[in-house]
Chain A
Amino acid sequence: MNLSDLLRRWRALTHKAEMDQELDEEMRFHLERDVEQNIRDGMTPEDARYAALRSFGGVDQSKEECRSARGVGLIDNVVRDISYSVRVLFKSYAFTIVVILTLALGIGANTAIFSFANGILLRPLPYPESDRLAVIDEIAVNEGGNSMGVAYPNFLDWREQNTVFEGMASHFGTGRFAMTAGGTPSEIRGSRVTCGLFEVLHVSPILGRTFSIDEDRPEEDAVVILGYDLWQRSFGGNPNVIGQKVIISSRPRTIIGVMPRGFRFPEVSELWVPLAVTSKMYTRTDHGLETIARLKDGVTIAQAQTEMKNIAARIYEQNPVTNEGLDVTVTSLRENLSGSYHDGLLILLGVVGFVLLVACVNVANLMLARATARQKEFALRAALGASRWRIMRQLLIESMLLAIAGGALGFVLSIWALHLLLTAIPIDLPFWMNFNLDLRVLGFTLAITLLTGLIFGAVPALQTSRVDLNDTLKEGGRGNSGVRSRARSLLVVSEIAMSLVLLVGAGLMVQSFLRLRRVNIGLNPKNVLTATLVLPRAKYTQDEQRAAFFKQLTERVRTLPGVEEASATGTLPLGGNNWGRSLTVEGYPVAPVGQAPSVQHTVVTPGYFRTMGITLLTGRDFNDADTKDSQNVTIIDERLARQYWPNQSPLGKRVRFGPPEDNEPWFTIVGVVSAVRHQRMQEETRPSVYLPHQKIPVGGLTLVARTSVNPHDFIGAVRREVAQLDPDLPVSEVATMEEVVAESIWQPRLYAMLFAVFAGGALLLAVIGIYGVMAFLVQTRTHEIGVRMALGATARDVFRLIVGRGMKLTAVGVMIGVGGAIALTRLMHSLLFNTSATDPFTFILISVLLSLAAFFACYIPARRAAKVDPLVALRYE
């Protein structure tokens, strides 16, 4: 195409009206010459005019051909089709609004869930070259590969011996630090980390420096690095902050660096202090560190895994006792962080995809019905020279316009829906999750919008363009309604099938969640207030100080009016913290550390079982007489009792904890309590043992108080009691026990909720779809129904005919849906609790419910059909 060509096309496009006028004039000139000629040949003017027109043929068709000959036809026509479509859609605004809303809901749900999944599964982690970051962990082989965390000496050996990593560092996860700046203590999320962590992450401080290797030694670790937000909040962004002293958990530390804006690691940490431990303090049997490393360029996870296994084998040869039964795993940081969300998110994406398909089917149904009503319009256009392709294109353009409008509205809805979704998540979202809008989400929305338009637009476009012109233009032509109603029936069947799959999925999820909620976790969470306190070691150096603090605090809280009982525990059930220790039972063979049974090791103050509603089955509770110097006593749970002393009382028997070779002191069992699900509501994990806080006076405990009324009313009072004992001590994680329990199952709850919402939407769409098809059927067959009634069919027969047809479609849809559900719900297996993916009860219940809904959808059109007056029906048309 050369320049003059382009210019001409441009002119044709911009001067369309002018060129059309020229075309008119050219044709008129021709006709007038013909007329003149005819008159000269002796015709009357009137005859001459007729003859000229007759010999010319179709004037409009010729014009149309001339226009397309000008070569600007395509763009020109598309522009005209679009403006025509807009006018048509505006005119039938009820239809347009219904379609756009349906699509907006479908596309909005998809975009929202995709944004959610994108933030967790797809977006690059907020660290440079994050695909090279890996997490190394130690696992206990005989406990089914349970993560143990890393032991410090093992970490040191790995760091020294490996050749696959550019760097390696460890940390203790996210902890709580009290920082006193300007009088009030505030609690900061921070981490204890080894030197080299920031280098592994490829992040440099904006002020000062990172930790040196010397600062990994306990005597030189009085330094701290601040996160950007913390620096802004507490120091006003003062650039002279480097070198200043600050009190962190009652210990003075020198600020040596400030990290860049937006950087947090791990999870939400924004304050870092040296880990500063030695291999003497943390031996090869003290696991619990988290190790992160950066792969050298070009090294794969699999290669690193192989090398780490070799190193671990070497360490085991030199340390057979401590490293027995251990294995090492290397996973990408991405997988490590998002692994637990992966299955659920993929299934949710599938679910919303189904919802969108159902929405598409519904819209396709509406379009078909509308296309039927517009048959004459299309036939007329075809008669005036529009090609089959032109009519198809017109319909596709209408579909695309609807899809784009739906997509745009859906996109706006999705922003709101995502916000709603995120507020339904009760936990602090880890820093690496980022749900801001990005190009990937925009691209996804655009792609599904166009795809949607094609899907629901293709069927009516193909159907309509097949219209037989003659047939349709003849009065009352019903030639194609048979074909079309078959297409619509197919759509309804697929709609019912898809809704059934979704409903079964939702039914399983909801049932699973309800079963999960009914699980007896072994305590009574009603009316219990919990609050966590961590005594800084620098201030509470002595065991006695810590023991005394909590003894005083629980006594003070207990005397508050309305408080029935108060105590404290080292690990709140379902609170997310656990302390597992090896168990050795007197009289049983001693197992090496990797193979020793692990128990949940919980430190509590007297009255804990009463406070939490845990049943004391036999023996006694701890009391104030169980002090540092008295006999070592412990209370075990019924599961441990059954396991070791099935036929006798465990009272008076002795156990000890920690690595067997450490020869820790023996503890005498003085009581047995009912079992509590400490880690997960879903399953019983390791059995529990309880020890008196006076004996093991750890600094961090969760205060629990049973109240006679709403526990929220006591938050202020509890804070006051704490402040009276130590005004610098922050109180954190204040929540009722019911909230803690609910929070521990937020994922199943969220999934059940989303499933139910989406499946409900699909059901609604399916019912509307069936109703639409049945109503359409009744309308187009009014004549036939009239004939039937005239020939003696009763209203009942007609009613049965219509309902029978609807229910036949439903039955086919349900059957296909059950097959599909059996195939697809298996994928949900990992999300279900105590519920089989092919639970027959759910399948039957949902099938019946869906059939009932379908019946009611058929009922109204069937009633209308039964009321048809044969006289009116036969006169009509």
Chain B
Amino acid sequence: MSKQLADLYKQGTLELLILRLLSSGNLNGWDIMQRIQLVSGEVLSVTPGALYPALHRLEARGLISASWGPSDNNRKAKFYGLTARGRKQLDTQRKQWEQFSAAVALILRDA
């Protein structure tokens, strides 16, 4: 991953991605990591060192909640899911991101 993308992550993009992935169902940390890589077509990746603190931060802010359950390989894993507040937050952030990227795209095309 390039330096610029890493910076984007730091600025909360990683959190937005986590919220989006969790909006379609509960996932554990490993799943989230795999999905980010998979869905982005291997363009984006995240290290555990960045992912887990982000998860705990989101949990601390009440945007996601955690529960323990069996994973698909039948082991005990910690699953994260969106809370009502998290859903709202996702909507706002998503709108902001779309506005922002549309604006950037507009400039890139027309300017």
Contact = CB atoms under 8 A, between A and B. Distances in A.
A4 B62 CA distance: 9
Interface stretch (B1-9, B16-24, B69-77, B98-106): B69-77
A143 interface: no
B56 A29 contact: no
Contacts of A61: 49
Given A8-B60, A22-B78, A29-B78, A66 B30 contact: no
B28 interface: yes
Contact of B47 (A26, A27, A57, A70): A57
B78 A25 contact: yes
Contacts of B54: 69
Given A25-B78, A29-B28, A30-B30, A57 B60 contact: no
A69 B68 CA distance: 19
A56 B62 contact: no
A33 B77 CA distance: 10
A67 B55 CA distance: 11
Contacts of B59: 70
A65 B59 CA distance: 14
B49 A62 contact: yes
B56 A69 contact: yes
B57 A69 contact: yes
B97 interface: no
B30 A33 contact: yes
Contacts of B68: 22
Contacts of A62: 48-49, 52-53
A710 B52 CA distance: 89
Contact of B48 (A4, A30, A71): A30
A22 to B, nearest CB: 7
B56 to A, nearest CB: 4
A15 to B, nearest CB: 14
Contacts of A4: 62
A30 B29 contact: yes
Contacts of A5: 62
Nearest to A64: B53
B76 A70 contact: no
B78 A26 contact: yes
A36 interface: yes
Contacts of A69: 53-54, 56-57, 60
Contact of B52 (A32, A36, A65): A65
Contacts of A67: 56
Main secondary structure of the interface of A (DSSP, over half): helix
Interface string A11-52: 000000000001001110110111010000000000000000
B83 to A, nearest CB: 10
Q: Size range of the interface on A?
A: 20 to 34
Contacts of B49: 56-58, 61-62, 65
A399 B47 CA distance: 39
Given A34-B30, A36-B73, A26 B52 contact: yes
Interface in B1-49: 28-30, 33, 47-49
Interface residues of B, number: 23
A139 B33 CA distance: 94
Contacts of B57: 69
Nearest to A34: B30
Contacts of A26: 29, 52, 77-78
A56 B56 CA distance: 17
Contacts, number: 65
A34 B29 CA distance: 11
B75 A32 contact: yes
A29 B60 contact: no
A67 B57 CA distance: 9
Nearest to B75: A29
Main secondary structure of the interface of B (DSSP, over half): helix
Nearest to A58: B49
A629 to B, nearest CB: 107
B76 A29 contact: yes
Contacts of B60: 8, 69-71
Interface in B77-97: 77-78
Contacts of B73: 33, 36
A33 B31 CA distance: 9
B78 A65 contact: no
Contacts of A33: 30, 71, 73
A25 B76 contact: yes
Contact of B77 (A8, A29, A55, A65): A29
A552 to B, nearest CB: 98
Contacts of A71: 60
B5 to A, nearest CB: 17
B13 to A, nearest CB: 17
B48 to A, nearest CB: 5
Nearest to B29: A30
A69 B59 CA distance: 9
A58 B52 CA distance: 12
Contacts of B78: 22, 25-26, 29
Nearest to B28: A29
Given A4-B62, A33-B73, A70-B60, A65 B53 contact: yes
A66 B56 contact: yes
Nearest to B30: A33
Contacts of A65: 49, 52-53, 56
Nearest to B31: A33
B30 A29 contact: yes
Q: Considering residues A25, A57, A61, A66, which has the most beta carbons from chain B within 10 angstroms of its beta carbon?
A: A66
B69 to A, nearest CB: 11
Interface string A207-225: 0000000000000000000
A252 B52 CA distance: 95
Contacts of B55: 66
A22 B29 CA distance: 13
Contacts of B56: 65-67, 69-70
B30 A57 contact: no
B71 A29 contact: yes
Nearest to A65: B53
Contacts of A57: 47-49
B44 to A, nearest CB: 15
Contacts of A36: 73
Contacts of B75: 29, 32
Q: Considering residues A25, A30, A55, A56, which has the most beta carbons from chain B within 10 angstroms of its beta carbon?
A: A30
B33 to A, nearest CB: 8
Nearest to B48: A56
Contacts of B47: 55-57
Nearest to B73: A36
A32 B71 CA distance: 12
B103 to A, nearest CB: 31
A8 B65 CA distance: 12
A61 to B, nearest CB: 6
B27 to A, nearest CB: 12
Nearest to A61: B49
B52 to A, nearest CB: 5
Nearest to B57: A69
B1 to A, nearest CB: 13
Nearest to A26: B78
A70 B52 CA distance: 11
Nearest to A57: B49
A66 B30 CA distance: 16
A62 B53 CA distance: 7
Contacts of A29: 28-30, 71, 75-78
A66 B53 contact: yes
A468 to B, nearest CB: 24
Given A27-B48, A36-B73, A56-B48, 8 more contacts: A26-B77, A33-B71, A56-B47, A57-B49, A61-B49, A65-B53, A67-B56, A71-B60
Interface of B: 28-30, 33, 47-49, 52-57, 59-60, 62, 68, 71, 73, 75-78
10 smallest CB-CB distances across A and B, nearest first, come from A65-B53, A69-B56, A69-B57, A57-B49, A33-B30, A66-B56, A26-B78, A62-B49, A71-B60, A69-B53
8 contacts: A22-B78, A29-B75, A30-B29, A33-B71, A57-B47, A57-B49, A62-B52, A71-B60
